Amino acid sequence: MSLIEINVMRSRVRGLRTIIYMVSDLDIRKTIVDIAFKCGESAHIGGSLSMVELLNVLFGEVLKHRPVEPEWPDRDLFILSKGHAVLGYLAVLHLYGYFDADKLATFQADGSDLIAHPVKKLQLGIESSNGSLGQGLSFGLGLALGMELKNEDRRVYVMLGDGECNEGSVWETAALAAERGTNRLCAIVDENHFRNDGAVTTYANKIKLAGIWRAFGWNVIEIDGHDREQICGAFAAARAYEEGPTAIVASTVKGRGIDFMEANNDWHHNRITSNVYKDCLRALGLETVDG
Ligand SMILES: Cc1ncc(C[n+]2csc(CCOP(=O)(O)OP(=O)(O)O)c2C)c(N)n1
């Protein structure tokens, strides 16, 4: 049975907790590194690696979706508001069967529709164009309100960065979503404690990010964003909460999984050369032939 067929089956038996995960976190990390290396250009690596477990649980366990029928009208929607982390998103879409390896290999090539930030293309599973930070949540809220009006049993999940939460538009939307009591909207905040130019200092000591979401009237669930059990529990709790929107504030490590990239913001946006590629494989426990 092909990966795609298994995925379709799984989408039909949603709700059943699976023990065997078809797409491993390691697969996703290896794919991120491969794309970054093959494109030969600087790419956003650290913030892609930090959200791997969150995306894997979301696409494997939570989202109602059909990779073989990407425009299925009953699907849930995922929006990568921190659009620069497109490598992680494309790795997941590919591994879950939205497009093949040949397509993925076109990343950043002339004329490709897979470029440094997501460009909406439903046939590839890309629901929204993003890159200018602070826009995904408001787009997601609009979609969720539309679903509510049409009484559709669908939900919207929006992935944001903690640096992105410096954008005022995030909080304008947060207020409106809470005011409207929109329970079809779930924000996932990848709190990896860095932005592009250093540490996130806005929400660090006296003011905690989770507390701000709470103050804006959201149901807030704080988790370790690399712990599968906690992630599954958070998504289940978000789904069960009926009063309004939920924010899953996930504490993560930027560059997670590759030791020399972990909490090292040099890897926010950087190029993987052949030597670095070998180091990445070693760090992932995938030794290269020449050792
Ligand atoms: C409106 C806007 N301003 C500035 C940027 C440039 N920029 C790209 S990534 C980034 C930092 C984002 O930090 P965070 O959301 O924490 O992402 P992560 O650390 O998870 O990669 C910034 C400011 C942008 N993409 N959009």
Query: How many Å apart are CA 233 and CA 131, to the nearest integer?
Result: 29
- Per-residue pLDDT tens digits for 13-34: 544 444 345 899 999 999 999 9
Confidence of residue 101 (pLDDT cuts 50, 70, 90): very high
12 Cα–ligand 1 center, Å: 36
How confident is the model over 130-137, as a mean pLDDT? 98
Is the pTM above the cut of 0.85? yes
- pLDDT (mean) for 252-260: 98
In this structure, which residue's CA is closest to atom 19 in ligand 1? 195
User: What single string gives the DSSP state of each residue in 138-172?
Assistant: HHHHHHHHHHHHTT-S--EEEEEETTGGGSHHHHH
Q: How far apart are CA 133 and CA 214, in angstroms?
A: 21
pLDDT beyond 60 at 284: yes
Of 182, 161, 191, the C-alpha closest to 238 is 182
- Residue nearest ligand 1's atom 20 by CA: 47
With bands split at pLDDT 50, 70 and 90, how would you rate the model's confidence at 221?
Answer: very high
Q: What amino acid occupies position 181?
A: G
Question: Model confidence at 192, in pLDDT bands (50, 70, 90)?
Answer: very high
What pLDDT does 1 receive?
44
- Structural domains of the chain, ranges and CATH numbers in brackets: 3-12+23-283 (3.40.50.970)
pLDDT at residue 37 is higher than 90: yes
CA distance 38 to 26: 18
Read off the amino acid at residue 212. Answer: I
Q: Which of 32, 45, 84 to mutate to test the pocket of ligand 1 (most atoms within 8 A of CB)?
A: 84
Look up tokens 């030791």; give the residue.
Answer: 259
Q: Is 254 in the pocket of ligand 1 (CB under 6 A)?
A: yes
- What mean pLDDT comes out for the span 197-218? 93
Q: Rounded mean pLDDT of 201-224? A: 94
pLDDT at 204: 80
Q: Residue 121 and residue 127: Cα distance in Å, rounded?
A: 6
Residues in the chain: 291
**pLDDT band at 287; cut points 50, 70, 90:** confident
Q: β-pairing, 194-195 with 198-199?
A: antiparallel
Q: Find out whether the beta carbon of 190 lies less than 6 Å from any atom of ligand 1.
A: yes
